[in-house]
Amino acid sequence: MTLNSSSTFLLQFHIRMHNGQSYSLDFREKAPALAGRNMYLDSSANVIKRKSLDGIMACAVPGSVMGMYEAHKRFGKISWSQLLQPAINLAENGFTLSKTEARKLNRFAALFTKINDPEPAFLLSKTGWKEGDIFINNAMAQTLKLIRDHQADGFYKGITAQKIIAVMNRYGGLISANDLENYRALWRPVINGQYHQLKIISMGPPSSGGILLVQMLSLLQDYPLKQWLWNSARTVQLITEIERRVYADRSKYLGDPDYYHVPVETLLSTDYLHSRMNNYHTDRATESSRIGAGSIPVSEKEETTHFSIVDPEGNAVAVTTTLNGSYGSKVVVSGAGFLLNNEMDDFSIKPGYPNTYGLLGSEANAIEPEKRMLSSMTPTIVEKNGALWMVTGTPGGSTIITSVLQSILNVADFGMNMQQSVSALKFHHQWKPDTIFTERGALLPADSLALSRMGYHLLNRSPIGRLDGILILPSGKLEAGADPRGEDFAIGF
Ligand code: GLY
């Protein structure tokens, strides 16, 4: 099992049983019933900065507890209370903070205090958190015990629900008792695709991840990447042109399938995909402005968590989970020991206005009461010749999809093992802004120069993604890759 340790709640769950059956569970958050399309706009229809990111109005109806409960109900082998106990122990007895965790808590202390009244004592340290401090959260232990004893009702009804509603009332939030009671996790059709002899199984809407990943791999099949070599100018140019086109599709066609007809079949059809490449030229960039409009750079870190698991029977699980930004909305449910998400920012809060990841959206992802916001999460399982081959996924907001793509290509085409693939330096393009973002050193200077001459704008940025993958070797052994960019680790039981 490989774990990424930096975030809290779960979002999308993908499982492949050893008999080859695959299932996708969507426990994406939902807009409250009182939410409306213009809730982040002022009277002049301008976006009120950070209203969808910080504080009570950023919170969507949480889905993670229901998702865990639903997954356990269908596939769990040990009892629900056994499953909860290690988390209760950790909350009650505490765990040791790493340097990064301590630094991050200190960095957000002022915001925790500003947004919450009373201030959330369990998140704050008078002397500042240090590496090695023990982080105890008794209120969280009590909440987990309620969930242990009453299953999902321990969260969505009763004391925990009352505490969430009390916070909503105190700060003027929109989530109601009905929103909590009515929340359901949904089993969704999986997204299937092909890349040479690999079968790709990934997450469908309301995530955009699976569709975009399959679109990209379907197109890449037509080109000899192996021959062109890893991160060569040719390879990067082709992948960039494909990324540009599929992210443009994302902004227009992807949203909650219960509210908007997502044309999945067309988006994945070979004819449609090939038609998208009609204006691809091997010697120059296609400008994004010829494919769509609007451009604002990515300005924030991309949080979220992914873990990949394979058990001794060969069942595989890929889970990508998130509060969205670091510590979500920073709103603490007083007396319950947890933070609420800021997932509302994943909606298109105004047509053409980019979210925190610089992603644009339109009608398909406009805010509507009880709708799920579009995600980029891409928990993915890959088969080779009918057998389980790889489990992969990552945090990273809009870069999730292109990171998962590279984790597969690195092994399938460029001869890397799982750890090398996860560690390899990456690049990312998302249509708008019209920039190839690169990790420092991802491209050789000569390749960067060749791309610049073709009209591409390249920009070094902070590390991209924190992939955690497992590769199943022909011998049946598992080879793990845990991303050195995070405090990730691989472990076998
Ligand atoms: N909150 C990030 C995502 O769902 O893509």
Q: Which two tokens stand for residue 222?
A: 């037509």
Q: Which atom of ligand 1 is nearest to the CA of 377?
A: 5
Catalytic residues: 304
**Ligand 1 atom at shortest distance from the alpha carbon of 11:** 4
Query: Exposed, middle or buried by CB within 10 Å (0-12, 13-18, 19+), for 450?
Result: middle
Q: How many CB atoms lie within 10 A of CB 234?
A: 18
Q: Is the CB of 320 under 6 A from ligand 1?
A: no
- Whether omega for the bond prior to residue 62 falls within 30 degrees of 0, making it cis, is no
Length of the chain in residues, anyone? 493
Distances in Å between the Cα of 429 and the Cα atoms of 169, 247, 364, 453, 464 are 42, 9, 22, 17, 12
For ligand 1, what atom is nearest to the CA of residue 346? Answer: 1
Does 376 contact ligand 1 (Cβ within 6 A)? yes
What burial class does residue 282 get, using C-beta atoms within 10 Å of its C-beta: 0-12 exposed, 13-18 middle, 19+ buried?
A: exposed
Query: What is the pLDDT, as a whole number, of residue 302?
Result: 60
pLDDT by position in tens, the chain (length 493):
333 322 222 246 668 888 889 999 999 999 999 999 999 999 999 999 999 999 999 999 999 999 999 999 999 999 999 999 999 999 999 999 999 999 999 999 999 999 999 999 999 999 999 999 999 999 999 999 999 999 999 999 999 999 999 999 999 999 999 999 999 999 999 999 999 999 999 999 999 999 999 999 999 999 999 999 999 999 999 999 999 999 999 999 999 999 999 999 999 999 999 999 999 999 999 888 876 422 223 334 466 889 999 998 889 999 998 999 999 999 999 999 999 999 999 999 998 888 888 887 788 999 999 999 999 999 999 999 999 999 999 999 999 999 999 999 999 999 999 999 999 999 999 999 999 999 999 999 999 999 999 999 999 999 999 999 999 999 999 999 999 999 898 888 7
Angle between helices 399-412 and 233-253 (to 10 degrees): 140
Nearest to 111 by CA among 287, 315, 330, 281: 330
290: nearest Cα among 277, 302, 279? 279
Q: Is 373 in the pocket of ligand 1 (CB under 6 A)?
A: no
Task: Report CA(144)–ligand 1 centroid distance (Å).
Answer: 25
Determine the pLDDT at residue 269.
94
Phi-psi region of 320 (alpha: psi -120 to 50; beta: other; left: phi over 0): beta
Exposed e or buried b per residue across 413-439, where buried means at least 16 C-beta atoms within 10 angstroms of its C-beta: bbebebbebbbbebbbbbbbbbbbbbb
Distance CA 164, CA 370 (A): 17
For ligand 1, the distance from its centroid to the CA atom of residue 400, given in whole angstroms, is 9
Q: Which amino acid is at 470?
A: I
Q: Which residue has the least CA distance to atom 3 on ligand 1?
A: 375
Ligand 1 centroid to residue 378 C-alpha, Å: 10
The pLDDT of residue 354: 85
A 10 A CB-CB count for 148 gives 18
Per-residue pLDDT, 295: 28
Residue 409 in tokens: 């290509």
Distance 87 CA to ligand 1 centre (A): 24
Distance 119 CA to ligand 1 centre (A): 27
Is residue 445 packed enough to be buried (19+ CB in 10 Å), middle (13-18) or exposed (0-12)?
exposed
Nearest to 300 by CA among 49, 102, 22: 49
Indicate whether residue 468 lines ligand 1 (CB < 6 A).
no
Q: Is the CB of residue 375 below 6 angstroms from any atom belonging to ligand 1?
A: yes
Cα of 281 to ligand 1 centre, how many Å? 32
CB of residue 397 inside a 6 A radius of ligand 1: yes
Residue nearest to atom 4 of ligand 1 (CA): 375
Candidate of 208, 343, 356 to mutate for ligand 1, largest count of ligand atoms within 8 Å of Cβ: 343
Q: Which amino acid is at 459?
A: L
* Dist CA 478 CA 378 (whole Å): 21
Is the CB of 403 inside a 6 Å radius of any atom of ligand 1?
A: no
Q: Which atom of ligand 1 is nearest to the CA of 324?
A: 1
Tell me, in angstroms, the distance from the centre of ligand 1 to residue 454's CA.
32
324 in ligand 1 pocket by Cβ < 6 Å?
yes
Work out which ligand 1 atom sits closest to the CA atom of 208.
5
Q: Ligand 1 pocket, 12 CB below 6 A? A: no
> Residue 2's closest CA among 302, 322, 306, 303?
306
Using alpha carbons, select from 5, 10, 9, 8 the residue that is nearest to residue 97. 5
Q: Which of 364, 484, 375, 373 is nearest to 14 (CA)?
A: 375
- State if residue 2 touches ligand 1 by the CB under 6 angstroms criterion: no
pLDDT score recorded for residue 297: 32
Neighbours of 335 (CB within 10 A): 15
> Could you identify the atom of ligand 1 that is nearest to the CA of residue 302?
2
For 345, which DSSP code? G
What is the DSSP-derived secondary structure letter of residue 144?
H
254 CB near ligand 1 (under 6 Å) = no
Cα of 205 to ligand 1 centre, how many Å? Answer: 12
- Ligand 1 atom closest to residue 345's alpha carbon, by position in its atom list: 1
359 vs 366: CA distance, rounded Å: 13
Distance from residue 476's CA to the centre of ligand 1 (Å): 33
* Cβ(322) – ligand 1 distance below 6 Å: yes
Residue 385, class by beta-carbon neighbours within 10 Å (0-12 exposed, 13-18 middle, 19+ buried)?
Answer: exposed
In one letter, which amino acid is 176? S
Expressed in angstroms, the distance from the first to the final Cα of the chain is 8
Give residue for tokens 């406009």.
366
Q: pTM of the prediction?
A: 0.94
Nearest to 248 by CA among 195, 303, 294: 294
Closest residue (by CA) to atom 1 of ligand 1? 324
402 Cβ inside 6 Å of ligand 1: no
**pLDDT for res 10:** 29
